[in-house]
Amino acid sequence: MPFNALVITKPESGYRCDLTELDEAQLPATGEVTVRVDYSTVNYKDGLAITGKSPVVRSFPMVPGIDFAGSVTQSDHPRWKAGDRVLLNGFGVGESHWGGLAQMARVKGDWLVALPDTLSERDAMAVGTAGYTAMLCVMALQRHWADAGVQPGSGEVLVTGAGGGVGGVAISLLAGLGHTVVASTGRPQEAQYLKSLGAASVIDRQELSAPGKPLQKERWIGVVDSVGSHTLANACASTRYGGAVAACGLAQGMDLPASVAPFILRGVTLHGIDSVMAPMARRVAAWDALAKTLNREQLASITKEIGLGDAIAAGGDILAGRVRGRLVVNVNR
């Protein structure tokens, strides 16, 4: 059975990503479950894979796409049967195993999560890895705050990279929980949009992106950071005593030019958030929480739908910071 997919190759002439017709027989043999994909999405990592700007792809040819949502068509795994609605995030899919920017996928059953009844396949990919990662960040902060006795409204929470997918969902989630959210962005023209998601105020990313002092004025009770480098270092340096920072990205860089001062003098906790290999129980909890708490109107406001072929150009756009919020890919369009 033929199907359409984005396929990355690396011929002698250079790195390529093309919309290609494949046959179901070409799907990876390592996988017990075949899924008819309805929707995928384009995340920052997908942009890196599609453009080749970073060595994300581990083997060639590769179908990119670290997310998908759809229905099982065939299964040799005890947990899944034909007709089950499922979603997938991470596990190296789109990097070392063919991914979701295609109309069909074959994956290991242990990688799949049952799609919550209240979420459509399109909604799930409007959330995608970006929103799921944001939920993991919020859950880490919530656990920390519960131990520390921190209540909503007791201080400001910083969200960096606020114009991106992680940032937008994090703002919506945190504001919905009653927290005062400060959004940091390099696109000041997006201030009204960020406030519509629940941000109480918006600051320019330049306030955080340059080298700063090891300890700064205490401000944040918590931080969701998808930027890394000096931004993360400054966020830690200005977090209040006993506060917490959830770090999940590296848009500014992989380095962390910080000191131990915030951690040993103010008891700040830095939580590293890994969405790729997160334990299944944590994945299920995150998706259940998203299904129950996410503001669907706000989700719709940060989401744009594109077709499968459009995802190639979108890969470059997301790396260049030209994408607001989330891109949903209708693989059948």
Residue 271 CA to residue 318 CA, distance in Å, equals 25
**Domains of the chain, start order:** 2-115+302-330 (3.90.180.10), 129-272 (3.40.50.720)
Mean pLDDT computed over every residue of the chain: 95
Peptide bond into 188 cis (omega under 30): no
pLDDT of residue 38: 98
Enumerate helices (H) and strands (E) in the chain, giving the number of each: 10, 15
pLDDT of residue 301: 86
What b/e sequence results for 109-126 when a residue is b if at least 16 CB atoms lie within 10 Å of its CB, and e otherwise?
A: bebbbebbeebebbbbbb
What would the two tokens of residue 50 be? Answer: 């599609």
Residue range 249-290, pLDDT digits in tens? 998 999 999 999 999 999 999 999 999 999 999 999 999 999
What would the two tokens of residue 330 be? Answer: 């209708």
Residue 253 CA to residue 206 CA, distance in Å, equals 15
With beta carbons less than 8 A apart as the criterion, state whether 88 and 99 touch.
Answer: no
Residue range 29-86, pLDDT digits in tens? 999 999 999 999 999 899 999 999 988 998 999 999 999 999 999 999 999 999 999 9
The string of DSSP letters for 202-246 reads EEETHHHHS---SS----EEEEEESSBHHHHHHHHHTEEEEEEEE
Q: Flag whether pLDDT at 158 surpasses 90.
A: yes
pLDDT of residue 153: 85
What is this structure's pTM? 0.93
